[in-house]
Amino acid sequence: MDETGGPNYAVPLPFWSMAHPQHAQVQLLAQEWAESYGLFRSETTRSKFHSLGYGRLMSYACPTADLDALRLMVEWNTYFFLFDDQQNYAMLNDRAEDYGWLQRAIRRMVASHGSAPHSGHPLVAALSDLCRRTFPRMSIAWGARFEENLRRWLDGQSQENKFRAIGKTPTVNEYVQMRRDASTVYAHIDLMEIGEQTEIPDDLYRSIPFQTLVESTTDIMCWINDIHSLPVETVEGDPINLVTVLQDHDGLGPHEAVAAVSDLVASRVEDHMTAIRELQERMEETCVPHPIREAVLRCVRDQGSWPAGMELWDRTDTIRFSCGELQGPNRPPQYAEDLLTPP
């Protein structure tokens, strides 16, 4: 195991995990969807999409979903990764204004649930499609929560950009909340309900045990990813990484910082397991109907399956964290390209 982080660093997790049996099919469907909206502009990025493996990643998030629901989740995940690539590209190339314009268009589309008029920019048009296929499936309360979590994602990216623009490393406290917000894990957890064909009651969703689950799932995934993506982000000079934060603010060396992050993950796993027990107790005490209780616990199961699957995917099933994909200063990785400017 590489003690300085990177894709070879294994982080043990105790969660049950299973990949959806149709992961290969949904990977192909996601590529067709992305192509239909012009999200690939070169044969290089098109050819590398399979090796990125977003369909394989999301197959762990809802391993028993029907194909239509899983496809929607994979397309959202693909979209989030593509938009994240544009954020990184903008900051590397002094194109904050272009990114700002695009983010404002995205915010309008989110607020309208997909109905806002737009110029046809591929990323805006693709988001319109996703929103139109997502919000009508669920209740108004769920839609308000999902919209809130999409805004959280965009707010988190804006905060990250402020630190990147000045080359400053955030403090640990600043980092933790910002990383949660920008990660899109909150929104993905909402989408799990579609995969499980259920809707978590709003009061239960906002309860302390369930929010602890959401936050611990997010932290576990983000911090494991920080370990695996560290070599790439170090080359790019990206300060938004918990290992880097601990090195800069706590004076830890590379090995010590990676080990410290791994220990923090283990602590959040304990919090996660405790929250599951407390959530079960709450549902019993408040007499939540048995069918709803079972559906909620399926969503809880998925919040364990996905991090465990992601940990393996990071290390063995994607090129996203390979330094071999880097092309040099101020250039996107080979699997990404400039989508900031309309074609």
The pLDDT assigned to 330 comes to 67
End-to-end CA distance of the chain: give it in Å, rounded: 44
| Residue (of 37, 29, 54, 64) closest to 132 by Cα position | 37
Contacts of 215 (CB under 8 A, 6+ apart): 180
d(CA 77, CA 75): 5
324-338: per-residue pLDDT in tens? 898 876 677 899 889
- Domains, the chain, with CATH or none: 23-324 (1.10.600.10)
Contacts of 312 (CB under 8 A, 6+ apart): 17
**Alpha helical stretches, state H, the chain:** 23-36, 43-52, 54-58, 67-92, 96-111, 122-134, 140-166, 172-182, 185-195, 202-205, 208-236, 242-250, 254-285, 290-316
d(CA 268, CA 212): 10
The pLDDT assigned to 237 comes to 86
The pLDDT assigned to 327 comes to 80
Instruction: For Cα atoms 296, 298, 302, give the angle at the middle one, nearest 5 degrees.
Output: 115
Instruction: For Cα atoms 161, 267, 314, give the angle at the middle one, nearest 5 degrees.
Output: 55
Handedness of CA 293, 272, 189, 49 (dihedral sign): negative
Are 153 and 182 in contact by the 8 Å Cβ rule? The answer is yes
The pLDDT assigned to 7 comes to 86
d(CA 173, CA 239): 14
DSSP one-letter string for 101-162: HHHHHHHHHHHTTT-S-----HHHHHHHHHHHHHGGGS-HHHHHHHHHHHHHHHHHHHHHHH
Handedness of CA 48, 60, 305, 190 (dihedral sign): positive
DSSP one-letter string for 26-60: HHHHHHHHHHHTT---SHHHHHHHHHH-HHHHHTT
Contacts of 177 (CB under 8 A, 6+ apart): none
Q: State how far the alpha carbon of 274 is from the alpha carbons of 44, 212, 266, 267, 299, in Å.
A: 46, 9, 13, 11, 16
The pLDDT assigned to 3 comes to 64
Output the six-digit token pair for 156: 């988190």
Pick out the chain residues at pLDDT < 70: 1-3, 329-330, 343
